[in-house]
Amino acid sequence: MSQPPWQPIAPAKPARPAKEPLTRDRIVDAAMRVLTQSGYEAVSMRKIASELGTGPASLYAHVANKRELDQLLVERTAEQMVFDDPIDPDRWQEQLKATMREMLRAMRANPGVARAAIGAVPVGERALRTTERILTLLKAGNVPDQAAAWAVDLIPLYVTAVAFEETVQSASDWTPEDVERFVNNLRTYFEGLPADRFPLTVALANQLTSGADGDARFEFGLTVITAGLAALAPTPLTPTPNPNP
């Protein structure tokens, strides 16, 4: 039956936009945003659900728990690492250093992810590819198997610790002037210690407080790690001269 002409026409209800389906990638995207904007401590399933306009329960269909989410954050960061140079046994130490620099670069690009990586064993495919690259470099340098196996724990731990420390320091909102003032005060404090009890701390006060920007200290760590691993490689036997050529 047609509508009488005096009856007002009801306005058409606007169509609701289709809701974007919830996926693991979208959850990780939202977690990365929270991580970058508010730090690791703010990353929770409830906060991520709020970012996505849904309830926390819906996230668990895609991510089992916070521990798995940490793994996914580490994996997302590992995806950003670029290693495109072929392994060269003659340059394995320099390539290992470059690998660690690239790991730190990716962590610096994702502030807070170092906290997610601390204590976690990376099992994602991209993270495992980084592990495989490190092992390949170490074996190219003839590093013993057990040393190489433990080194793939030591190396990420060192890089992650550096990145985590930088995250903690950046959270203090110190200006470069604040850092310089603190370093100067710390140097003065070391210099003023009783020399009879702390002779070397007093003598090395300047060296102990150098490299405040972190890069020089990081490079020092790379040198120590690579040189130490190289020292573990068996020395080729020197042929015994033939006394009767």
User: What digits encode the pLDDT tens for the residues 78-116?
Assistant: 999 999 889 999 999 999 999 999 999 999 999 889 999
The pLDDT assigned to 214 comes to 74
Q: For the chain, give the mean pLDDT.
A: 88
The pLDDT assigned to 211 comes to 79
Tens digits of residue pLDDT in 23-82: 999 999 999 999 988 888 899 999 999 999 999 899 999 999 989 999 999 999 999 999
Separation between Cα atoms, residue 76 and residue 97, nearest integer Å: 22
Q: Which domains are delineated in the chain?
A: 24-63 (1.10.10.60), 89-232 (1.10.357.10)
Q: The whole model's pTM is what?
A: 0.82
